[in-house]
Amino acid sequence: MKPADIAKMINHSILHPTFTDEDLKRECEIAKKYKVATVCVKPYHTALALEILKDSDVAICAVIGFPHGNSTTQLKIEETKKVISDGATEVDMVINIGKALQADWNYIQTEIERINQTCLSRNAILKVIFENDFLPDDTTKIKLCEICSNAKVAFVKTSTGYGFVKNNEGTYSYKGATEQDLKLMRKHSDSSVEIKAAGGVRTFDDIIKVRELGVTRVGATATIAIMEEAAKRL
């Protein structure tokens, strides 16, 4: 394994709500320097990211229905069309979490299938974000893996990075990509469906650990630290 192999696992995340155009430019330069797989950007930043990265092989991944998944299916489809027309070749969508919690699987399946077809018809791929912190049991996660496998999406993804769960005392907690969830998602997804870990993957050792669990992509903000350590150890 070489540092370049690690780089091509990384979707460099540029999704913080406070990020400006200048922040996007800075983070895209980091992505170019380390030759990561993609930058992961907010929808309105898609076109600008494409312009910044036009002379590199770093691709554009845009999020839709982000971060809570509550847009209507039709709005998610229109958002998908827009980000692809602006230059995204990968789309990360958040499921309708409430519908998953009430086990409205027809709704979930129909939405995923329609958005996946929208992507495929435009030469893009779809990653489906479960937001596992909001899902209380493995049964729900397994069902989502099965639906995504049947729909033949490209990836299933653990989290947005922003799925903060409110505790009884009013504070918020977040687990992100746990080892248990990654093992479960790999086990219950078709072999053609890849796994993306997001939330809590911050170090070179973290990437090696999730890679051994079958993960092929990670959402990361700590790209510099990860790649500098990879250069030292590989």
Catalytic center residues: 92, 157, 196
CA 147, 85, 119 angle in degrees (round to 5)?
15
Q: For residue 87, which of 124, 32, 127 has the smallest C-alpha distance? A: 124
3-state secondary structure of 220: strand
Geometric angle at alpha carbon 99, from 93 and 104, rounded to 5°: 120
Q: Dihedral of the CA atoms 69, 70, 75, 76 (nearest 10)?
A: 10
> DSSP character for 184?
H
Q: Nearest-CA neighbor of 51 among 90, 82, 24?
A: 24
Tell me the C-alpha distance between 210 and 203, whole Å. 11
Cα(63)–Cα(49) distance, integer angstroms: 13
Q: Are 131 and 94 in contact (CB under 8 A)?
A: yes
- Our CA dihedral for 156, 158, 163, 167, rounded to 10 degrees, sits at 140
Q: Beta partners for 9? A: none
